[in-house]
Amino acid sequence: MTLELSLNQQPAHTRQGSSIGQPLTRRDGFLKVTGAARYAADNHPPGMLYAVLAVSSIARGRVVSLDIEAAKAHSGVVEVMTPLNRPALAVDPDAKDHPFMFRLDLLQNDGVRYPNQSIAVVIAETLEAATEGAALLSPRYETLPARVGLDGGKSFVPRGVGVGNPAVQEKGDVEAGLESARTRIEAAYETPAQYHNAMEPHAIVAAWDGDQLSIDTPSQGLAMAQGRIAGLFGIAPRNVHIRSPFLGGGFGSKGMISGPQVLGILAARLVGRPVKLVLRREQMYGPVGHRAPTRQTLRMGMDGEGRLTALSHHARTTSSTFDDFFEPAADASHTLYASPAIATSHDAVRLDTGTPLFMRAPGEATGSIALESAIDEAAHACGMDPLEFRLRNYAEVEPMTGKPFSSKALRECYEQAAEVFGWASRPLQPRRMRDADGFLTGWGMGTATFPALMFQAEARAVLRADGSGLMETGAQDMGQGAWTAFAQIAADGLGLDIDQVDFRAGSSDLPNAGIAGGSGHTATAGMAIHNAGAAVIARLADLATGNEASPLFGAGNEGVLARGGRLYRRDDESRGESYSEILARAGLAEIEGHGKGAPDPASQETYAKHAHGAVFAEVKVDPDLGQIRVTRLVGAFAAGRVINPRLVRSQYYGGMIWGVSFALHEEAVTDRRSGRIQNANLAEYHVPVNADVPSVEALLVHEDDPHVNALGIKGVGEIGITGTAGAVANAVWHATGVRPRRFPIRIEDLLG
């Protein structure tokens, strides 16, 4: 029996459900509310120095001079790192071997390619001295005009969008479909640049010991970060030890290691002491990614029954001048509506900004706000209720591929959320509802969807002679409750109570937990944990069933169940023995098993995999002032097996609040003259607070999807944003009769 199980179809040796499905509170919650949880910047190794970045105040040009002497003369300043003395790297930070190797600004030259690009690092005995030293550098620049905005350069069709999808795709004949339509709409929408704005800024504490590098830094994917750092410094990945137990939010910005984090490592190498480097809030607007703005044009045709005859979705987006990431906004139209003809296309311009990156449902969030707005316009153009229109048009197989699809669950999401919301009493026409205070009231809806992705992960399971278990995988917990969900899966995988299982995570020295991104972490690392549990139980079963002294002798590996720290005969549950007894007889202190989580290629080939949902929103608009309030959100989501309903609901709440944020709040405003972001702070970059979302309800719709993985897990992290933003926009239309064309929706857009 091999201990390495591959893929995800290993049958469970345990009865599911003792821990999985329980609404446990976060296992790390106590640490967090008491302040005992240690975030990267909380680490202060002996002899540690503080590094502060000096960043460019221009968008484009080059640094002509820095007053290094003034900075070095400042009391407490130890060193100033610039392109002149920055330690060598093994590879060019501008090299790019594959699409996920992003170019980094590591003081390789005096060029400036965007505002807030690092131009020097000041290292000092205290944070204050380093900050003051950085201010003394007084950079002088040669400045070129900044290229800004969706028309800021010559447009081109990118080679790929998102994770390398084709920029242009077509099924059927869209022009013919539009031609034959009874009703047509064409509409354009603009979405803004957004920044991740995790509560915890990117931070690193780096310490070198010869060629061993220890770092504390928040990372959504430790093994990927480890590989990138090892490559840059020309050392073996095993020499890079990353601790990342907790993240104060990532949202995609901590998926890849960023330039400032690597500068912290370089600073530590330069001074030969541990160094801490933490980004200031405004420094997060540049080198650590963002969501690029879009301008999207949708065209739809409908026949006499309100069925789509054609759907065309074009998105213009932006990227940096020196690297490639293209928000795959139009791809949102691939997966939801059953038009016989669908065409999606993208083009882009290059601007003097930091490179955009994955951010909270990249593509789906941006694209679905336009798609759901347009679907609403199409429904009303046909004189149909938008729910009826969606029920008529949602796809029963994935539209672009024709693969089977879990659309039955989508219908249930529509129906359950509509029922709870009270949608049936909605007047079809806008401006028909007012509340007691005279506010215009509107109801809107949106469909939510997000792919059920899996990546690659590994886990190691141990059973010990005292009957306890251990599960290890190098996952961080970025606030979503990953550790709790993983411990629940581990407990069931090992056939133990959750309190009998130690769960070790948060370090790159542990098995690779893959990446907490693409809403695929629970499915991927969860399957690795499940398979590691199955592997160690199989090993234990071998020990018992092959031994005449065991009551399980001759039952065969498949004939055994694990539960409550005991193995039983599947055909006679009165016959069994404890893990401890089996290990004691074998004279073993512990046994181990390894498992992997990965998508199953055969199943990928056959089935389309998506989570689905429906979100309904109520808004109230002041008829004189145009001020918009969201007063109620109801979402229903089907995302396969729910590992922990408390955590899952919380993910939906978070996603829905992002949706409100997208519709009404978030926008990075660029100064067209300087190319700088004017609101690079959390005071003026608006995000919702509790008063902005008074009532949020998330319904969990039961769904068994046996095709995603053996546990039936889909992702829940990002789907909530996708339906909600459109639902809010459509509710604003229903309240006011004004169709929002740009996001966030502004008061002045509603005042005639």
Report CA-CA distances (Å) from 209 to 41, 216, 265, 500: 20, 14, 12, 37
Which is the catalytic residue, given 419, 703, 718, 748? 718
Span of 321-329, 352-360, 680-688, 699-707 interacting with ligand MOS by CB under 6 A:
352-360
Residue 252 or 306 with smaller CB distance to ligand MOS? 252
The identity of residue 491, as a single letter, is A
Say which residue the tokens 């002679």 belong to.
465
Name the minimum Å distance from CB 452 to ligand MOS: 13
Residue 363 or 446 with smaller CB distance to ligand MOS? 363
Q: Does 248 bind ligand MOS (CB under 6 A)?
A: no
Active site residue 718: yes
DSSP string, 153-195: S--B--S-BTTTB-SEEEES-HHHHHHH-SEEEEEEEEE--B-
Q: How many residues bind ligand MOS (CB under 6 A)?
A: 11
Q: In what order do the strands lie in the sheet with 560-563?
A: 560-563, 566-569, 572-578
Among 252, 260, 593, 712, binds ligand MOS (CB under 6 A): 252
Query: Is the bond leading into 744 cis (omega within 30 degrees of zero)?
Result: yes
Which residue's CB comes closest to ligand MOS?
A: 252
Name the minimum Å distance from CB 651 to ligand MOS: 12
Span of 358-366, 536-544, 581-589, 593-601 interacting with ligand MOS by CB under 6 A:
358-366
Would you state the torsion angle of the CA atoms of residues 639, 220, 256, 330, taken in this order, to the nearest 10 degrees? 20
Q: Does 162 bind ligand MOS (CB under 6 A)?
A: no
Q: Does 152 bind ligand MOS (CB under 6 A)?
A: no
Span of 186-194, 246-254, 533-541, 644-652 interacting with ligand MOS by CB under 6 A:
246-254
Specify the DSSP class assigned to residue 477.
Answer: B
Name the minimum Å distance from CB 520 to ligand MOS: 8
Determine the Cα–Cα distance for residues 349 and 247; give it in Å rounded to an integer: 33
Among 274, 444, 517, 613, binds ligand MOS (CB under 6 A): 517
Neighbours of 303 (CB within 10 A): 14
Beta bridge partners of residue 578, listed in sequence order: 566
Q: Does 220 bind ligand MOS (CB under 6 A)?
A: yes
Residue 369 or 634 with smaller CB distance to ligand MOS? 369
Report CA-CA distances (Å) from 328 to 48, 163, 368, 659, 701: 42, 8, 11, 18, 28
Q: Does 360 bind ligand MOS (CB under 6 A)?
A: yes
Name the minimum Å distance from CB 600 to ligand MOS: 21
Span of 305-313, 354-362, 532-540, 646-654 interacting with ligand MOS by CB under 6 A:
354-362
Q: Does 221 bind ligand MOS (CB under 6 A)?
A: no
Name the minimum Å distance from CB 162 to ligand MOS: 11
Span of 73-81, 275-283, 353-361, 395-403 interacting with ligand MOS by CB under 6 A:
353-361
Q: Does 518 bind ligand MOS (CB under 6 A)?
A: yes
DSSP string, 291-328: BPPEEEEEEEEE-TTS-EEEEEEEEEEEEESSS-----
Q: Does 358 bind ligand MOS (CB under 6 A)?
A: yes
The answer to whether the beta carbons of residues 442 and 735 sit under 8 Å apart is yes
Q: Does 102 bind ligand MOS (CB under 6 A)?
A: no
Could you tell me the maximum CA-CA distance found in the chain, to the nearest angstrom?
Answer: 86
Name the minimum Å distance from CB 342 to ligand MOS: 25
Question: In whole angstroms, what separates CA 536 from the centre of its chain?
Answer: 31
Residue 358 or 423 with smaller CB distance to ligand MOS? 358
Among 24, 178, 298, 359, binds ligand MOS (CB under 6 A): 359
- CA angle at residue 28 from 23 to 30, to 5 degrees? 95
**Strand 77-81, strand 168-171: pairing:** unpaired
Nearest to 734 by CA among 299, 417, 369, 379: 379
Among 152, 362, 493, 599, binds ligand MOS (CB under 6 A): 362
Span of 248-256, 276-284, 640-648, 676-684 interacting with ligand MOS by CB under 6 A:
248-256
Among 201, 250, 287, 399, binds ligand MOS (CB under 6 A): 250
User: CB-hemisphere CA count at 13 Å for 297?
Assistant: 6
Beta bridge partners of residue 277, listed in sequence order: 51, 204
Restricted to residues 254-283, the positions that interact with ligand MOS (CB under 6 A) are 255
Query: Which residues carry out catalysis?
Result: 718
Write out the residues near ligand MOS by the rule CB under 6 A.
Answer: 220, 250-252, 255, 358-360, 362, 517-518
